[in-house]
Amino acid sequence: MKKFGLLSTAAAVLTVAAGAAQAETLRLLTWGSYAPEEVVRLFEEKYPDIDVEVTYSNNEEMIAKLRATRGAGFDLAQPSHDRIFAVQEEYGIYKPLDLSKIDTASMQESLLEGVKANTTIDGEVYAVPHQWGTSGLMADITKAPDLNSWDDLCDPQYAGQTSMRLRRTILLGMAFAAGKDPFAAYNDLDEYQKLMDEVTETLIACKANLKAYWNGGDDLSNLMLSGEAVASETWDSTAYKLYAENPNIVFIPPETGALAWIDTFAIPAKGEADDAAYKWINFVLQPEIVTMMSASTGAIASVKGAIDLLPEDKKAAVQAAFDEDDLNNLKFFANIPAGIEEIEGKALDRIKAASE
Amino acid sequence: MARSDAGKLSLILLMTPFLMWIVLLIILPQIGIGYLSFQEKVGPRQYVFGVGNYVEFLSEPIYWNTLLRTAWMSILVTILALMIGFPVAYYIAKIARKRSRAALFLLCLIPLWVSDLVRAFGWIVLLRETGVISGALQSVGLIGGPVELLYNDITVVIGLVYTVVLFMIVPLVSTLEGMDNSLLEAGYNLGGTRFTVFRMIVVPYAMPGIVAGCIIVFMLTAGSYLTPILLGGKNSMWFTEQIYTQFITRYNWESGSTFGVLLLLFTSAVVWLGLRLTGQNLASTVAKE
Amino acid sequence: MFDLQGDSLTKRFGSFTAVRDVSFEVPSGSFFSILGPSGCGKTTLMRMIAGFEEPTSGDIRIKGTSVVGTPPNKRNVKMVFQHLALFPMMNIGENIAYGLKCRGENKVDIRRKVGEVLDRIGLPGVEEKQVSQLSGGQKQRIAIARCMVLEPDVLLLDEPLGALDLKLREHMKIELKQLQHQFDTTFLYITHDQSEALVMSDNVAVMKSGRFEQIGPPEQLYHAPQTAFVAGFVGDSNRFEGRLSARAGDEARVTLDAGGEMVARLGQEGLSDGAAVSVFVRPEAISAHATRGAAAADMVAVEGTVDSLLFNGANSRLLVKLDDGTQIESSHTTGAGAGARFAPGDRVTLTWAVADGLCFAAEGGA
């Protein structure tokens, strides 16, 4: 098998060398909507010798794909900031970044420093921020006007009309709602286990109150737009999109703070087009591209003055959702140490398996 | 001498693609999965050989309950698919005119032309609380308020039966087509009622097709992923979902491999048991006299 | 007493009439054949008797009782199918026991009866064998035993010898006849092969286009056919087409289409002068002579050239081409004491008795 991989890699290298001495290919592994056609077209116009090839994925699958090939097959990936440190330690699928080739000056300092702090191993930085967003709640304010905490999803007055995604976000949210700080418990597995046991109980009890667990943005949108659900845990970008269709559906940062994630740029260990990757990073940090990108993703770029660079409708949605206090209250996902995912996974299994 | 050498060469040439396919795409990956399932993780990038993953599976009721539930529902789906597929296959093979037979067969194939995902979404559109059926029932006045038909086990079973019934029909049609009508007439002529003819002639004759169809359907169902997840709702558990979770969300390839091996072994055991209980064997199914 | 009677049976499929006003009676214990070319309606007739088709009109009586409307599994008429239809998933014993089981007989009786019937057909102890282990002839006997164990009033046989090779077929003809005697049951046998019908049957019905042309014992059909079709279909015949020019008693004078005249016996009544007719002469009635002798008054003589010799033992034939181009088959004895021998190209005179030539109205349109 190994031999095969080698052969095909060799063949690929040969093809690139012979057939396309000029044209380089940038194989981008990113989130759906993170490479809008227009942006790709402009990029290829500016760098005619680079072809962009996009593969859409999510955090887990990105890691699984890169792990399967030990970091080959893609030239630039966009995992979230909390999913890099442990994965890199365990599987070594990324290569260190050369920060001198990145226009770090245009990035918002706090986000850049935060990501660097999260992804530095042995003095090498493995990721820089691209866009950030939050997970929180959304509600149809005509039907659920008072919703403002994670555990309001379990409020019997919304019985059979709420939804959530059965992943780690809701575990963390519920822990915050119970007055705990799960990130603080990360370093003590026993304590974290206890916290998760507590959250599991809450969520099992909450199960009967839910309409369904959603799996992706599409089924969540259907649930909310059809009115089958009146409130749900959500990504802010999904909420913004729904706001455009029904202004009664708004994003609500929970009172304990919305959970914030930063999607980053990281270069896979066996990436073959590093220069093109750096060019792409710098390209999408330009103000006019940032606006186009945010229009497509609904997320906020990690450049200075990013909120002003949002398209008008998104800016309105963000302003409807966040005030200054909410922004100061953001809870950034912390790096996940070894063992945490195991505990969380078991908790999710138990919740899923429990009958109402 | 030269002739037999040529014969050997052509045999080798003919067999090579097949063997490559079997070895490279089926046996090697399975060995890889099997090997991985015996790796216990003891620390970052550190593994030892052991059966820890299997012990883990057995000690966690959630896991083996999911496996049993998957098997049980797959058996149910298989039985339903047989009960629905048999009359359809019988109609296509024996009652329909020759000309309409191909058209009917094609009609059965239509669901395969759209992807699993689209089919599942089709069901969702039909069955959801604000969906087509609920709306139609309300407008006719049969029910007072919207009714949720989605997100329960019955829906999962219906969706699965719909997806796999074709794989029951195809082998049944091909065995039943081979059945001479005069066998049926002889059955009646010698005094058999409809029921005796069905039980003593049609079913035994179709048995190879029934067995083949049941094996295919059972395996497909137990290994299906999208339909049970999309239609299943809050309490739905399907073993393939566990495998996916282990591989993708938990980064736990070792335990994912263990689950994969267990699913293969368990479904094979169910098939073996089914063959034993019905007194069939694989050889007579595959190579009919 | 008749085991089986048909009364003005008619069967239509849409606008097509497969069986048209057929009546017949089969006496108990006799061997009755229906002989006809494929598509003549004989299979439809048999399926009506078995109950797989309902007659459009008319009546079927078995042992005097009408069975119209009775489903096939309630009629005591059993059938041996063209391809036998032995059940491949059952062994021989189970095949024979099937009908008894359907009848709900107890296991001991079934076992005994199966053993007995296998003894009677001369295949004792084959209960455990699979169908595929038997030879063609053995399968044939099993198919009959499977029906006979139920003691039917009538056994229907739908060209069961068709799939066998020639030698076996000849042998099975005799065996079938013997089985029929042995079981003393009425057999209704369908075939397109006249030799099968003639050898085995007590009575034969010749069927054409949904109608019975003639019913009678084999000798009668052969020697005294009543229609041109029967004369042509049963046994070999030379046929001459022409027009009736004059009649005298039972003799007819025919002007042949190929030229010349011929005298023959009138085979049917009511022919008028000028009608299109066919004259049939059996090859064995014709003798060949090397020299031209004076033809007797009651003999017909024609001249021709030997085209070829068809050797077939006792059935050897001489193919002669007449001067007008007509081809005639004549019998040709080749034994030691036989008369003149011929070689292709020899001139011959063929003679037959006037009474051996039979004149019928030509078949419609033909």
pLDDT in tens, B34-81: 999 998 887 767 788 888 889 988 988 889 999 999 999 999 999 999
Tell me which chain A residues have a C-beta less than 8 angstroms from the C-beta of B44: 89-90, 338
Residue C189 is classified by DSSP as: E
C24 — phi, psi (to 5°)? -160, 165
Question: How would residue A7 be classed by pLDDT, with cut points 50, 70 and 90?
Answer: very low
- Least trusted range by pLDDT, from A211-220, C155-164, C338-347: C338-347
- Tell me the mean pLDDT in the region C4-29: 92
- Tell me the mean pLDDT in the region C265-284: 87
| H or E element, residue C328 | strand C327-331
Nearest alpha-carbon partner for A259 in A163, A181, A352? A181
C36 against B115, higher pLDDT: C36
Question: How would residue C236 be classed by pLDDT, with cut points 50, 70 and 90?
Answer: confident
Question: 3-state class of C60 per DSSP?
Answer: strand
- Tell me the mean pLDDT in the region C9-29: 92
Look up the CATH number of domain B61-286.
1.10.3720.10
Question: 3-state class of A181 per DSSP?
Answer: coil
Question: Going by C-beta distance under 8 Å and a sequence separation of 6 or more, which residues neighbour residue C58?
Answer: C6, C7, C8, C9, C10, C21, C22, C23
The first and second tokens of residue A73, run together, are 């097959």
Q: Are residues C86 and C142 in contact, defined by beta-carbon separation less than 8 angstroms?
A: yes
CB contact under 8 A, A64 and B247: yes
Residue in chain A closest to B24 (alpha carbons) equals A1
CB contact under 8 A, C85 and B193: no
Tell me which chain B residues have a C-beta less than 8 angstroms from the C-beta of A207: 234-235
Residues C35-81 have pLDDT tens digits of 999 889 999 999 999 999 999 999 999 998 999 989 999 999 999 99
> Is 50 exceeded by the pLDDT of residue A91?
yes
Give me the percent of chain C exceeding a pLDDT of 70.
96
The CATH class that applies to domain C236-361 reads mainly beta
> Is 60 exceeded by the pLDDT of residue C336?
no
Residue B8's pLDDT is what? 85
- Which of B181, B190, B197 is the best residue to mutate to test the C interface, defined by the most C CB atoms within 10 Å of its own CB? B190
The first and second tokens of residue C46, run together, are 């048999």
- Least trusted range by pLDDT, from A15-29, A316-330, B154-168, C10-24: A15-29
- Tell me the mean pLDDT in the region C266-276: 84
Residue A275's pLDDT is what? 94
Q: Where are the alpha helices (DSSP H) in chain C?
A: 42-50, 92-103, 107-120, 136-148, 166-183, 194-200, 218-223, 228-233
List residues in chain C touching B: CB distance below 8 A: 50-52, 71-73, 77-79, 81-83, 85, 87-90, 98-99, 101-103, 132, 146-147, 150
B86 against C302, higher pLDDT: B86
| H or E element, residue C351 | strand C347-353
> Is 90 exceeded by the pLDDT of residue C275?
no
Whole-number Å distance between alpha carbons of B284 and B212: 10
Distance from the B138 Cα atom to the nearest Cα atom in chain C, whole angstroms: 48
Residue B245 is classified by DSSP as: I
> Is 50 exceeded by the pLDDT of residue A10?
no
Domain ranges of chain B: 61-286
CATH 3.40.50.300 fits C2-227, yes or no: yes
Whole-number Å distance between alpha carbons of C23 and C6: 5
Residue in chain B closest to C80 (alpha carbons) equals B186
CB contact under 8 A, B130 and A213: no
Average pLDDT, chain C: 88
- Tell me the mean pLDDT in the region B123-151: 85
What's the complex ipTM? 0.80
Whole-number Å distance between alpha carbons of B250 and A345: 7
Whole-number Å distance between alpha carbons of A100 and A95: 15
Residue B282's pLDDT is what? 67
CB contact under 8 A, A89 and B233: no
- Least trusted range by pLDDT, from A137-151, C87-101, C168-182: C168-182
* Contacts made by residues C66-75, CB under 8 angstroms, sequence distance 24+: C71/B188, C72/B185, C72/B188, C72/B189, C73/B188, C73/B189, C73/B190, C73/B191, C73/B192, C73/B193, C73/C102, C75/C50, C75/C51
Indicate the Cα dihedral angle B246, B252, B255, B256, nearest 10°.
40
Instruction: Give the number of beta-carbon pairs within 8 Å between A and B.
Output: 70
Maximum pairwise Cα distance, chain C: 78
> Is 50 exceeded by the pLDDT of residue A11?
no
Tell me which chain C residues have a C-beta less than 8 angstroms from the C-beta of B192: 73, 98-99, 102
Residue tagged 């055991």 (tokens): B269
Whole-number Å distance between alpha carbons of B273 and A46: 65
CATH 3.40.50.300 occupies which residues in chain C? 2-227
* Minimum-distance CB partner of C72 among B188, B205, B289: B188
Whole-number Å distance between alpha carbons of A150 and A234: 11
Tell me which chain A residues have a C-beta less than 8 angstroms from the C-beta of B237: 352-353
Question: How would residue B18 be classed by pLDDT, with cut points 50, 70 and 90?
Answer: confident
Q: How far is CA C63 from CA A248, C54, C56, C182, in A?
A: 88, 19, 21, 20
Give me the percent of chain B exceeding a pLDDT of 70.
96
Whole-number Å distance between alpha carbons of B257 and C59: 74
Nearest alpha-carbon partner for C171 in C142, C200, C204? C200
Domains of chain A in sequence order: 24-132+260-325 (3.40.190.10), 135-259+333-353 (3.40.190.10)
Whole-number Å distance between alpha carbons of C89 and C81: 17
Tell me which chain A residues have a C-beta less than 8 angstroms from the C-beta of B124: 219, 222
Residue A19's pLDDT is what? 43
Q: What sign results for the dihedral spanned by CA atoms C98, C102, C107, C112? A: negative
Whole-number Å distance between alpha carbons of A312 and B178: 69
Whole-number Å distance between alpha carbons of C262 and C265: 10
* Minimum-distance CB partner of A349 among B32, B62, B129: B62
Question: Going by C-beta distance under 8 Å and a sequence separation of 6 or more, which residues neighbour residue C347?
Answer: C290, C303, C304, C305, C306
Beta bridge partners, C279, equal: C240, C359
Question: How would residue A254 be classed by pLDDT, with cut points 50, 70 and 90?
Answer: very high
Distance from the B185 Cα atom to the nearest Cα atom in chain C, whole angstroms: 8
Tell me which chain C residues have a C-beta less than 8 angstroms from the C-beta of B189: 50-51, 72-73, 77-79
